[in-house]
Amino acid sequence: MSSAAELSDSEAEPGNTSDRPYAGGIPEATVARLPVYLRALYALAERGVTTVASDELARSTGVNSAKLRKDLSHLGSYGIRGVGYDVEYLVYQVSRALGLTQRWPVVIVGAGNLGRALANYGGFVTRGFRIEAVLDSDQALVGRKLGGLIVGHVNDLETVVAEHSIAIGVIAVPAGAAQAMCDRLVAAGVTSILNFAPLVLQVPDGVDVRKVDLSIELQILAFHAQRRSAERFGQATDHTAAEA
Ligand code: NAI
């Protein structure tokens, strides 16, 4: 999952696709950072903090404070000079912008290691998502209890989508089965897909796919770790040279 807070300035340049106005006139780069602000705001609210200065919120999210203020201004939120932002109201504004003031019904396709972990995670409910069903093709899994649900058979996917007005489909099946599952979700009317399978899904216009690839995140961390270690090594060499 790419950390929105790490989106570079260049990604927010006009003309870059990530700056394309999103529904509601909010640039996509801003939309990508909103969940990061929301997570920090929830943490503040849990600690009983009622107001937060933009600098403090910026620090806790790793976004520079001018950018954060600009992002929040897209939501019509400007904060009060010398006081900052009302945490509870900002949670509401960010949630509203992200469409989280309503619960989104989700289906998880694949009840293997990943599907089970997702289905068992209680945090989605408080973040605006309700997992309505978990489906699998393995008869040994169908009928098993999982996170308050019973694993259903994937043959019922279309019925489940219609019955629960599913808005988001999560694909947690092996790569070989993912495109077919995606096609079925789309044909059933699902227009938002979160894909964990290691392949690029083909979807028609009007369908949003977000791909999650933890190995890419690890590779990016490895790159930064390597760069830090090269810098340390370089500094040590310079230091030694200066002392000599
Ligand atoms: P798993 O093998 O434990 O589970 C896969 C499940 O999919 C099984 O229960 C299987 O019965 C089911 N399945 C297979 N074909 C199906 C079909 N046509 N319809 C419905 N269910 C079907 O695998 P795991 O570890 O849960 O991984 C699932 C997927 O997520 C894989 O594609 C894996 O590569 C990917 N993955 C991605 C990660 C990421 O960072 N993006 C991290 C871990 C896994």
Distance 174 CA to ligand 1 centre (A): 4
Secondary structure E strands in 112-158: 129-136, 145-146, 149-150, 152-153
Q: Which residues of 193-230 are buried (b: 16+ CB within 10 A; e: fewer)?
A: bbbbbeeebebeeebebebbeeeeeeeeeeeeeeeeee
When pLDDT is averaged across residues 127-154 and rounded to a whole number, the result is: 95
For residue range 102-114, what is the model confidence (pLDDT) as tens digits?
A: 889 999 999 999 9
Cα-based distances in Å from 60 to 36, 38, 68, 168: 9, 11, 11, 30
When pLDDT is averaged across residues 183-189 and rounded to a whole number, the result is: 98
Q: How confident is the model at residue 230, as a pLDDT?
A: 85
Q: How confident is the model at residue 23, as a pLDDT?
A: 52
64 pLDDT higher than 90:
yes
pLDDT classification of 42: cutoffs 50, 70, 90: very high
Q: Are 204 and 186 in contact (CB under 8 A)?
A: yes
For the entire predicted model, the pTM comes to: 0.76
- Separation of alpha carbons 174 and 154, rounded Å: 14
State the residue for tokens 């929105």. 4
Which residue has better confidence, 235 or 196? 196
For residue range 199-209, what is the model confidence (pLDDT) as tens digits?
A: 999 999 999 99
The length of the chain is: 244
2 pLDDT higher than 60:
no
Pocket of ligand 1, candidates 136, 179, 200: which has the most ligand atoms within 8 Å of its Cβ, to mutate? 136
Q: Is 112 in the pocket of ligand 1 (CB under 6 A)?
A: yes
Q: Which residue owns the Cα nearest ligand 1 atom 35?
A: 197
